[in-house]
Structures are given as C-alpha cells and as structure tokens.
Chain A
Amino acid sequence: MKSSEVTANILGKLRTQLQEDFETIETFARERLEDISELAMVLARERLDGIFKTNNQMFQRAVARLEKRVDLFVRDLALLSALTVEKAWNTVVSEVWGAINAVIGAAAGTLPLPSLPKP
C-alpha cells in the first residue's frame, strides 16, 4: 500500500464526514435560532395582552426557560463541534491503523495483528 493511497482514503472519508456534520450543525443552529426568536416574540405578545398579562409567576418561569434555551444553544454548538472533531480524529486514526495492519499483515503473515481500540 502506498502512502498516497492512505492519504486519499483519509481525505475522502474526512470530506464526507465533515460535510455531513457541518450540515447537521447548520440545520440545528438555524432551526434552534428560529425557535428562540419566535418564542421570544410570542412571549412578549402574551405579556402585553395575553396569557401572561396578569400572571407574573408563570411569565417569569417562561422567561427563565428562554434564557436557558440561549445558554443551551451555545453549549449544543460546542457539543456538536466536539463530536465533529472527535469523529474526524477517529477517522484519521482508524485509516492509519488499518494501513499499518495491512502492511504488517502482508509482511509478517502469521503475526498477530493489534486491533484498534473502540472509542
């Protein structure tokens, strides 16, 4: 096996992986931002002349949930990005490891091959 083949394999898999993950992050971010902004507008309307006009306690609880959504949104993006890094790293290690096993297996024949540990 040539190193150029290993490189091509890694790049091909990384490209697919990263493309899927970025689409997931983009879709989640867009939908969640729509959720937060639309809920904020509804909450404001309900406070002015709706179900929260006189109910302060329930309004405060709804506001606290809105704040929590904003905080969680940022952490969700960090989580999804961490997942992308994790998968990219493991893809590279898996490919390099597979190439090493292939070379050792071809050269040594009956040598026991080390297996890639599960993440």
Chain B
Amino acid sequence: MYLRAFYRGIPGLFFWLFSACSIQIAPSYDQAIYDKILASHEQALVLFSGLSGCPSGCAFSDHSARYDAVIASYSVALTRAQARPTPALGVRLAESEALEKVCKTSTPEQCLNTVPEHLELVIGSLSDLRDTHRQGALSQDHVAFYRDEYARDARATLTIEGALKR
C-alpha cells in the first residue's frame, strides 16, 4: 500500500519540481500585430509609389487620405504592441545589474519589448514626410530620404516581431 502511494506521488513530485522550470523572458509573439504591420507596410508602399510619380509641388490633398490611412494603421499596431506585457522574468532581468546600462533609457517593462519603439520610428518618418508635404515643400529628395528611413525601420520591426515567434 505504501509502495503504491509512493509511486502515485512520483508524478506529482516531478510536476512540482519541473513546473517552474519552463521559462519565458521575452514578450509573446502576436500574430495580429505581425499581420497589422504587414498590412500597414503594404499601404505605405502604395503611398510611396504614388509619391514617386509626384512632380515637385504636387497637391497634398491628393495624398492626404493615404497618409492618414497608413499612419492610423501603424498606430493600431503600436497600441496593441504597447499593451503587450513583458513576462515577470523579463522585467526582473531588465532590472538586474546585467542589463542595467542597456535598459537605462527605458522602464524595465519596456526594455525587452522593443517593437512599440520600432513602430514609433516608422510613424515618425511617415509623419515628417506628411508634414513636409502639407507645408508644400515636398521634393523627390524628401521622398527618397523618408522612403529610405521608413524601409529600413519597417524591415527591422518585422524582424523583431518575427523573432518573438518560438
């Protein structure tokens, strides 16, 4: 009888021993965020395609709806990414001495959740392009500069969000 009780206790013992051993440090992957970034990127490419054929001084009103749509779309992804929690272990790691210098410009909750700030970079470039166009100062040099900035940041954003998938 004791032997049977002992055997029955073994699984519970191992469960207790190992249940805390599977860890999560980084935020969870969110397919909805990834899909939203991809959809926004497609909208941005349409915007840039339209602007590349835009002669100097072309009307802002012809493109304002596209600016609004793409910036709003990225802002939806940003809101969702900001709401995504960092696991407790990741927060503790960010607070630790090991990452003290790396995380000094962010809160421990934000330090390992970098996608929102990548999205802010993307939105920043698009907003500056829109503001330049609205002021009537848009040239093809502006389009080329902001497209270059945008494309590099959009790729990095997708890479980091994709890396969270495990």
Contacts and interface: CB of A to CB of B under 8 A. Distances in A.
Chain A, interface residues (CB within 8 Å), range: 35 or more
A114 B114 contact: no
Interface string A69-109: 10110111011101101110110011011001000100010
Contacts of B141: 46, 50-51
Contacts, number: 122
B121 interface: yes
Given A111-B8, A114-B14, A119 B111 contact: no
A78 B111 contact: yes
B56 interface: no
B105 interface: yes
Chain B, interface residues (CB within 8 Å), range: 35 or more
Contact of B117 (A24, A46, A72, A97): A72
A118 B19 CA distance: 9
A12 interface: no
B124 A61 contact: yes
Interface stretch (B23-31, B41-49, B65-73): B23-31
A74 B102 contact: yes
A72 B112 CA distance: 10
A58 interface: yes
A104 B11 contact: yes
Contacts of B102: 74-75, 78
